Chains A and B, each alone.
With several copies, the nearest count.
Chain A
Amino acid sequence: MRELRYAEALREALQEEMRRDPAVLVFGEDVAAYGGVFKVTRDLLAEFGPARVRDTPIAEQAICGLAIGAAMMGLRPVAEIMYVDFLPLCLDQLVNQASVLPWIWNGRVRLPFVLRTQGGVGAGAAAQHSKSLEAWVAHVPGLKVVMPATPADAKGLLTAAIRDPDPVVFIEHKALYNTRGPVPEGEHLVPIGPAAVRRPGRDVTLVASSRMVLEALRAAELLAAEGIEAEVIDLRTLRPLDVGTLVASVRRTHRAVVVNEGWRFAGFGAELAATIAEEAFAWLDAPVQRLGAADRPIPYAEPMERASIPDAARIAAAARSCLG
């Protein structure tokens, strides 16, 4: 299969869906003429024109409201919030409008929009451009939260998100845009919901999402060298969560490490650890190990930044500690 970069895979999904469905619209800061600061929307303006591909002012509340209103009227907007760090600016629109209206209005409207954004630690983007805030949106009923880890999923999940009848918060990772991998040509749908077992193993389950999947896979390599067979689960969708795959794995391996790039305290890892401890209680041979970012603002300086989030070595150490 031909290989694409994660960013290109995303772009292909946008392009194919815009060709397929005239209701699909793309807007956000710097997405049109420039093609997005990560170039995910490159050349879409040239192909689809200024009515469907729009640069907006710097106005995150308006961007999110645009998506809600246009979706309510039958369009399928794909809005971009440049960094997940700016998502707090439109959380009112997400938690008080997007989450509420379809259900509270008794299903009388649908809101089929996608809010694309990206998070995570990159190279020195500092405290206001490096956060992982998926725990917040995953808490909100009515939203779906998707975080692809591979180029193929980036394409397949974005395609599914655009066709989905519900609001989807689609969180990319700045340090994944340049990763390459095989991506199917033409229509490629990865359903929202199911997790993927990226590597089978019987000794311990490593649960991760987004870039942490790559770290977990590297940890599995380290562990394999020591004779420990780790199973790696890529959640892909955080809400609704694929509890079945998660729990089935832990019931087999009896041990779990959950990894999330967001702050550890009250983070998404807590949901994973709690769910596993509830649903696999009798199967667990050791406490679930939970890794997350240090509970501090993300610092700029490299040694501090690097220390602030989980990595393969720390994941492997956590796995060893549940086996020890």
Chain B
Amino acid sequence: MLNRPGLGELREMYRRMVLVRRLEEELGRLHREGRTRGPIHRCDGQEAVGIGATAALEREDLVTSTHRGHAHHVGKGVPLGPLVAEILGRATGSCGGRAGHMLVADPEVGLLGGCGIVGGMLPVAVGQALAFQVRGEPRVVCAFLGDGAAQIGAAHEAMNLAGLWRLPVVFLIEANGFGLTVPTAAQSAVNELAIRAAGYAMPGRTVDGNDVRAVFAAVAEAAARARRAEGPSLIEARTFRLEGFSTSDLGGYRDPAELAAWRARDPIARLRGELLPELGESALLALEGEAERELARALEAALAAPPPPAETLAAPEYASEAGARGETAGA
């Protein structure tokens, strides 16, 4: 994969970013209507990170995600119908409605997977990468984490081990400026998280997380390095979360001027501006319409689908009991 996305790739990334943004907006609307459950973590404004990074991966690569994963899900290619159904807890969801929005996974496309524990998947990502290394497979794990998550112990253990064993992991920090409500400056002793890479013997760099090309290029380079068995990398993508930390956010902790400044740097508008001369307004409108229709179909189907019945709770506890599907991602 080249480090510079071609026009076709950019076009597709644009479509996906629009799709994610519309998804977030629709989820916001459904939440206000009381039709969602639990705190949904929207990623409005951060789409370029998840979409740009996943576009630079191969299908057989893996992504470990976070509580704020919709761009990762869409980018890695989880079919939209089951994705939306899972977010809404339907039997037709990619995990049958058991997982919900924070834990979405889909082994078929290598999304393994969402996690509501901050930093919880980082040690797992290292284990996935170990399997690739042991078997000599040229596969890579892209492990997303937040700038808040970078302060937790598991991040340290995972990064040290990946650096020590030269495991094929791309640690991608979505530096959106906050944990939930606490600014990163009040969470991290250092402003630039990428400098910590030196402490793990891996390259570290900071990129503009609102520039999908920059994210793509950085991840493509890091993935290529990992595939060459040269070990992990740390990328800090600077971005901003434009909406609440979740649908439970009561606000009041952010500087409106800062928010406005970042709104003006919306990654979708930016990419649109860049594509406009190349593709023309009508092609872009068509692309946006396509994304909107795809989302509308998925939403409609999900909302019409039933939740899994209470009896599903009796599904076997163990894979060793009969009936477990036991699809193994490693196969």
Given A34-B180, A72-B131, A304-B308, 16 additional A-B pairs, CB 8 A: A57-B157, A66-B127, A69-B127, A70-B127, A74-B330, A77-B127, A96-B115, A102-B324, A105-B95, A107-B324, A109-B105, A125-B38, A295-B317, A296-B313, A299-B98, A301-B100
Residue of A nearest to B105 (CB): A105
Nearest 4 pairs of A and B residues by beta carbon: A65-B123, A74-B330, A69-B127, A124-B37
Q: Which of B153-171 contact A (CB under 8 A)?
A: 153-154, 157-158, 160-161, 164-165
B99 near A25 with CB under 8 A, answer: no
Residues in A neighbouring B311, C-beta threshold 8 A: 307
B123 to chain A: which residues have CB within 8 Å? 61-62, 64-66, 68-69, 93
The interface stretch among A1-9, A126-134, A268-276 is A126-134
Instruction: Knowing A57-B161, A301-B89, A301-B97 are in contact, say whether A62-B126 is a contact too (CB < 8 A).
Output: yes
Interface on chain B toward A: helix, strand, loop, or mixed SS?
loop
Of the candidate stretches A48-56, A145-153, A243-251, the one touching chain B is A48-56
Q: Chain A residues with Cβ under 8 A from B187's Cβ?
A: 55-58
**A197 to nearest B CB, angstroms?**
24
The residues in B between 84 and 129 inclusive whose CB is less than 8 angstroms from any CB of A are 89-91, 95-103, 105-107, 112-113, 115-129
Check A59 against B326 for contact (C-beta < 8 Å): no
Bound CA span A164–B122, Å: 25
Residue numbers of B with Cβ under 8 A of A are: 36-39, 89-91, 95-103, 105-107, 112-113, 115-134, 148-149, 151-154, 157-158, 160-161, 164-165, 179-182, 186-188, 248, 250, 252-253, 307-313, 315, 317-320, 324-331
- CB B106 to nearest CB in A, in angstroms, measures 8
Q: Does A218 contact B (CB under 8 A)?
A: no
> A92 an interface residue at 8 Å Cβ cutoff?
yes
Complex CA distance for A22 and B37, rounded to whole angstroms: 41
Least CB distance from A88 to B in Å reads 9
The yes or no answer to A165 lying at the interface (CB within 8 A) is yes
The answer to whether B327 touches A104 (Cβ under 8 A) is no
Is there an interface contact between A125 and B39, defined as CB atoms closer than 8 Å? Answer: yes
Please measure, in the bound complex, the distance between the C-alpha atom of A247 and the C-alpha atom of B146, giving whole angstroms.
50
For the complex, what is the distance from the CA of A109 to the CA of B178, rounded to whole Å? 32
Separation of A57 and B103 alpha carbons in the complex (Å): 23
Say how far B173's CB is from chain A's closest CB, in angstroms: 13
Given A61-B157, A69-B130, A301-B89, residue A128 in contact with residue B331 (CB < 8 A)? no
Taking the closest CB of chain B, its distance from the CB of A177, in whole angstroms, is: 12
The answer to whether B113 touches A302, judged by C-beta atoms less than 8 angstroms apart, is: no
| With contact pairs A72-B329, A73-B329, A300-B100 given, residues A29 and B179 touching in the complex (Cβ less than 8 Å) | yes
Find out whether the CB atom of B129 lies under 8 angstroms from the CB atom of A69: yes
Give the number of residues in A that approach B within 8 Å (Cβ atoms): 79
Q: Which residue of A lies closest to B128 (CB)?
A: A69
Closest-CB distance, B19 to chain A (whole angstroms): 23
Report the minimal beta-carbon distance from A166 to chain B, rounded to whole angstroms: 5
Considering only CB atoms, which chain B residue lies closest to A113 in the complex?
Answer: B127
List the B side residues contacting A89 at CB < 8 Å: 152-153
Residue of A nearest to B131 (CB): A73
Say whether A70 contacts B153, CB under 8 Å. no
Set of chain B residues within 8 Å of A102, measured between Cβ atoms: 319, 324
Could you pull out 5 A-B pairs where Cβ atoms are within 8 angstroms? A73-B131, A74-B330, A92-B120, A96-B115, A304-B312
Q: A51–B122 Cα gap in the complex (Å)?
A: 21
Query: With a CB–CB cut-off of 8 A, which chain A residues contact B118?
Result: 58
Q: How far is the CB of B35 from chain A (nearest CB, A)?
A: 11
Q: Known contacts A93-B120, A107-B327, A300-B38; decide if A70 and B130 are in contact (CB<8 Å).
A: yes
Q: Which residues of A contact B309 (CB under 8 A)?
A: 303-304
Q: B78 to chain A: closest CB distance in Å? A: 12
